[in-house]
Amino acid sequence: MPAITTDLLSRFDVPGPRYTSYPTADRFVEAFGEPDYVQALEQRRAGPAAMALPLSLYVHIPFCESLCYYCACNKIITKHHDRSAPYLRYLSREVDLHVQRLGTGQSVSQLHLGGGTPTFFSDEELTELMSMLRRNFSLVPGGEYSIEIDPRTVTPARLETLARLGFNRLSFGVQDFDPLVQKAVHRIQPAEQVFALVEAARRIGFESVNVDLIYGLPKQTPESFDRTLAQVSELRPDRIALYAYAHLPERFKPQRRIIAIELPGAANKVSMLARSLAAFEQAGYVYVGMDHFALPNDSLAVAKRQGRLHRNFQGYSTQPDCDLIGLGVSAIGKVGATYSQNAKTLQEYQDALDHGMLPVARGLAVTRDDLLRRAVIMGLMCQGELSYESIELAHLIDFKTYFAKELEQLAAMQEQGLVVLGDTGIQVTATGWFFVRGVAMVFDKYLQADRTRARFSKII
């Protein structure tokens, strides 16, 4: 594995975006509202993309029975499952309003249920949700239809129900198998439970099983995380998402319950990342990118090899850069050259729908410069390389002139062994993959102008 120096650690122990979008969601403004989003939907309907390009759907289900202290998601902690039915009715209203603007039967090639805990919904409610979506959209054969799973909320019988409903991909939230870490973050789930569910998922025939892990949690050490890595390698999911914990207690109240002195330092976090890369490589996984691993025959690894990798609000994806409709409280969407986000509180979300309005609270209409920089950032984040000519042809610029200042900054990174600047493009090195967010940040116009980055997680 590449050597990580103390100088690099100190230089990149800074906050930075994860670039699931560009511009990043913190740049969304309330001046962009429901009329702007409606206009984007109607432009899609009138344009050539209406039937030719499939949609991606994201449905946010915010409810959780218990609080995980590390969580930064928009969630509502409750044991009252009777709250699901009213929420489902509001989702149906939101879908109806979209169909009025888009028309019925738009093709969908990607569906993701996130949260919260999507399996907070009962089997009957999930069945109703999927029936409602199928009535209004056309879920195409061969699409990716995934759902996030809290292992504490499902049984093998529930997994069979999910398969019957059309889900073909599961994502299990594991984070860490160590009992001490689980106790420190208030999420107790025995490894045996996860192993049994993954075995059941394979028996049922799900196309892909993903496991989420987090490094940088309280009580974690490189040695304790090694044990989790060994267990995950034995579990052998098709995909692994390995995230760095973002400790932002000033923004996310649940994180204030985490004891800060129990968090591992930057050197230990990088050690965990390096050991993860080595362990999963040895286990036969492909390092897809910043936080994703996949078995060589998984579609994500195939897309990486073929240069078809994309990045969206769920992370790396095999799906083309298509329009995304976000449904539910706080859900983010992307339609045409716009981003939008729904109201973050349940009351505001419901109030908008009660008035017959789409619950958009903020968003952004991207500029030509935004589109250009998004292409550069996503190229670096997804492929680890960039061709000047391809960017120049697509955006009608001279790359070296347009990005002269950025290339000066990258020259310093080249000296540190993070990138190689060639005559025809940029290549991220093996060492640079540890800090690829830092490389991408060089091209973030908004971030370069605003050095207040405390709202972001640390790069490492």
Predicted pLDDT of residue 51: 61
Predicted pLDDT of residue 213: 96
Q: Which of 340, 322, 228, 331 is nearest to 275 (CA)?
A: 228
Residue 146 has pLDDT above 80, yes or no: yes
Residue 454 has pLDDT above 60, yes or no: no
Predicted pLDDT of residue 460: 65
DSSP assignment of 178-238: -HHHHHHHT----HHHHHHHHHHHHHHT-SEEEEEEEES-TT--HHHHHHHHHHHHHH--S
Q: How far apart are CA 131 and CA 128, in angstroms?
A: 5
Confidence of residue 410 (pLDDT cuts 50, 70, 90): very high
Residues above pLDDT 70, as percent of the chain: 95
Could you report the per-residue pLDDT of 29-88, keeping only the tens digit for each?
A: 999 999 999 999 999 998 775 566 899 999 999 999 999 999 988 899 999 999 999 999
Average pLDDT value for the chain:
91
pTM, to two decimals: 0.92
Confidence of residue 16 (pLDDT cuts 50, 70, 90): confident
Tell me if the bond preceding 218 is cis, omega within 30° of 0.
no
Confidence of residue 3 (pLDDT cuts 50, 70, 90): low
Predicted pLDDT of residue 459: 66
Predicted pLDDT of residue 313: 80
Sign of CA dihedral 108, 91, 93, 326: negative
Predicted pLDDT of residue 5: 65
Predicted pLDDT of residue 31: 97
Q: Which residues of 322-356 are buried (b: 16+ CB within 10 A; e: fewer)?
A: bbbbbbbbbbbbbbeebbbbbbeebeebbebbeee
The secondary structure element, H or E, covering residue 62 is: none
Could you report the per-residue pLDDT of 170-202, keeping only the tens digit for each?
A: 999 999 999 999 999 999 999 999 999 999 999
Residue 396 has pLDDT above 90, yes or no: yes
Residues 327-335 have a mean pLDDT of: 96
Q: Which of 243, 176, 167 is nearest to 208 (CA)?
A: 167
Burial class of residue 415 in the structure, from the number of CB atoms within 10 Å of its CB (0-12 exposed, 13-18 middle, 19+ buried): exposed
Residues above pLDDT 90, as percent of the chain: 73
Residue 458 has pLDDT above 80, yes or no: no
Residues 321-342 have a mean pLDDT of: 94
Confidence of residue 20 (pLDDT cuts 50, 70, 90): confident
Residues 336-360 have a mean pLDDT of: 97
19 SS3 class: coil
Could you report the per-residue pLDDT of 429-452, keeping only the tens digit for each?
A: 988 887 888 999 999 999 877 655
Span of 6-10, 54-58, 166-170, 272-276 with lowest mean pLDDT: 6-10
Domains of the chain with CATH codes: 1-23+367-460 (1.10.10.920), 25-327 (3.80.30.20)
| CA trace torsion 313, 84, 101, 29 (10° rounding) | -50
